[in-house]
Amino acid sequence: MSTSFEPPHRGPNFDGRRFSNPWRDPQNGRRFGLWRWLLRPRGPGWPPAVSDSAIEGPPQRSHAPRVTWIGHACALIQIDGLNLITDPVYATCVGPLPGVGVRRHTPPAIAWSDLPPIDVVLISHAHYDHLDRATITALVRRDDPALVAGLGLERWLARRGTRRITTLDWWQRTAPVGDGLSITAVPAQHWSRRGLFDRNRSLWAGFWVETSAQRIYFAGDTGYGPHFRWIREHLGGPDLALLPIGAYEPRDFMHIQHMNPDDAVRAHCDLEARRSIGIHFGTFKLTDEARDQPVHDLAAARLRHGLDDETFIAPQFGEVFELG
């Protein structure tokens, strides 16, 4: 399967060919650890998914800020009359070919037919569980949203049939959207790949969504690192942070690229977030932990770090968070 990326510049996170984390490169030690893990006997699979009760569809528009967790890294952000969606993946299986890869364990909490018109799509990186070709193509055809992603993904996104594409380096900001909403790409500790020869040819990032009254931080996919402190120093503390808490076992090599719940609580504290919700768990079985282990581990991490239960929660699928 061919891909085509076009990193455009040299900088501290780009050597002219590939991107990296200047403070720590997940590729170091990751490859051998990955192969050792793949050759181990696999643990038990997740039990069959229990059908969650259907949730009421969200409003078409909302001026009062609200965030709905759809599943994995996908959330609907409704703010100032705009609808933003993060890493939308509606596929039943994620991988290089249709039906080949990791199967979805829990369906999207908002059915496609109930998904309101999307104005902006935020894409954190190129991995299949975060960037799904069929979902992006369907959104482009249905809503023609603006697509915001890291550097190097413009050509891939253009092949989905749109020119409404903005690709950003870390700390770059979009032009104002709607009535003054801004989106800033911020650092993440991760990596990217879709094909055999495109490792780290596109940039991974989190996103900072800000209006005159609210600040929402979507971390995308990331290990724990100094970037959370940098984000707070540059942009302040978010009113709501969406932080990954799943896909973290075994820790001997996953810790570099994925946070466990304790890491996520440390990130919450570094950010000085008013409130955080866990994402990136319970949807696709990507690693060795049990389906509900992130929920239990987050409760233990809150206790260790002295956080109350409402400050950082593992949401139910479809749970809605209203920001006052």
Q: How many domains does the chain have?
A: 1
User: Would 117 be classed as within a structural domain?
Assistant: yes
Q: What is the pLDDT of residues 281-320, one digit of tens each?
A: 999 999 999 999 999 999 999 999 999 999 999 999 999 9
User: Would 283 be classed as within a structural domain?
Assistant: yes
pLDDT band at 33 (very low <50, low <70, confident <90, very high): low
Q: What is the CATH number of the domain that holds 164?
A: 3.60.15.10
- Domain containing 188: what range? 56-320
Nearest residue to 68 via CA among 324, 285, 323, 298: 323
**What is the mean pLDDT of the segment spanning 233-252?**
96
User: Would 39 be classed as within a structural domain?
Assistant: no
Q: What is the pLDDT of residues 64-80, one digit of tens each?
A: 999 999 999 999 999 99
User: Would 274 be classed as within a structural domain?
Assistant: yes
Starting from the edge strand earliest in sequence, which strands make up the sheet with 215-218, in order?
182-186, 206-210, 215-218, 240-244, 276-279, 312-313
Q: 178 or 263, which is more confident?
A: 263
What is the spatial distance between Cα 137 and Cα 90, in angstroms, rounded to a whole number?
11
**What pTM, to 2 d.p., does this model score?**
0.93
* Cα–chain center distance at 241: 11
User: Would 129 be classed as within a structural domain?
Assistant: yes
Q: Which of 87-91, 103-107, 252-256 tops mean pLDDT?
A: 87-91
Length of the chain: 324
User: Would 14 be classed as within a structural domain?
Assistant: no
Longest Cα–Cα distance of the chain, Å, equals 54
